[in-house]
């Protein structure tokens, strides 16, 4: 049985914003390995559209960016959206039956299934499907934006804290 994991870069004040700060080389390598080892990834529409950037090579990429793109392209993806009519390579569109589809993935796959998108994470949390939350805290204060937790959460229990590089710490929580 697979474990559903929602992990994101987050500011010290709890906001996510992929344009406000980025992982350094050590953390980016960690993310490459995480994607490479994932059983699958489930995206909400907005995050999937952002991640489609990795579908095509860009001449300015360094070796790490090319590694991430290869890992991302190689993962099976499910995209939850009522508005999209189609999705790109190696992706399956989920329009209805979120609980059934994601529950089925957890039953069929082994390892970790990553979640991309805070609204999707909110829905999956409300359904009781998320098994683990990984918050990668960066030394940045944004003061506004999209919160990591889009709605009230069940009580959580800290199970790990890991220094990821000189500035970032990952806190890992599971539902209590």
pLDDT tens-digit profile, the chain (176 residues): 999 999 999 999 999 988 888 899 999 999 999 999 999 999 999 999 999 999 999 999 999 999 999 999 999 999 999 999 999 999 999 999 999 999 999 999 999 999 999 999 999 999 999 999 999 999 999 999 999 988 777 799 999 999 999 999 999 999 99
Q: What are the phi and psi torsion angles at 101 (to 5°)? A: -65, -50
Compute the Cα dihedral for 26, 21, 11, 37 and give only its sign: negative
**Over the chain, what is the mean pLDDT?**
95
Map out the domains of the chain as residue ranges. Answer: 2-160
Query: Which pLDDT belongs to residue 22?
Result: 86
CB-CB contact of 142 with 11 (8 Å): yes
Residue 90 to residues 123, 142, 144, Cα–Cα distance (Å): 23, 34, 34
Concatenate the DSSP letters of all residues of 4-53 into one string. EEEEEEEETTSEE-TTT----HHHHHHHHHHHHH-SEEEEEHHHHHHHGG
Class of domain 2-160: alpha beta
Bridge partners (DSSP) of residue 172 are 134, 160
Tokens 């399956």 -> residue: 92
User: In percent, how much of the chain has pLDDT > 90?
Assistant: 91
- The tens digit of pLDDT for each residue in 123-134 reads 999 999 999 999
């Amino acid at each position: 049985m697979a474990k559903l994991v929602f992990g994101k870069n987050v500011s010290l004040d709890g906001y996510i914003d992929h344009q406000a700060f980025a992982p350094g080389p050590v953390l980016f390598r960690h993310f490459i390995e995480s994607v490479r080892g994932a059983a699958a990834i489930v995206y909400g529409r907005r995050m999937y559209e952002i991640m489609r950037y990795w579908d095509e090579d860009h001449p300015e990429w360094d070796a790490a960016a090319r590694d991430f793109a290869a890992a991302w392209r190689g993962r099976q993806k499910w995209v939850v959206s009522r508005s999209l009519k189609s999705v790109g390579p190696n992706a399956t569109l989920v329009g209805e039956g979120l609980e059934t589809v994601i529950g089925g993935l957890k039953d069929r796959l082994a390892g970790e299934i990553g979640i991309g998108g805070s609204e999707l994470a909110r829905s999956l949390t409300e359904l009781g499907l998320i098994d683990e939350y990984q918050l990668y805290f960066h030394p940045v204060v944004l003061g506004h934006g999209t919160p990591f937790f889009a709605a009230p959460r069940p009580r959580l229990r800290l199970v790990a804290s890991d220094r990821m590089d000189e500035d970032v710490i990952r806190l890992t929580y599971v539902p209590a």
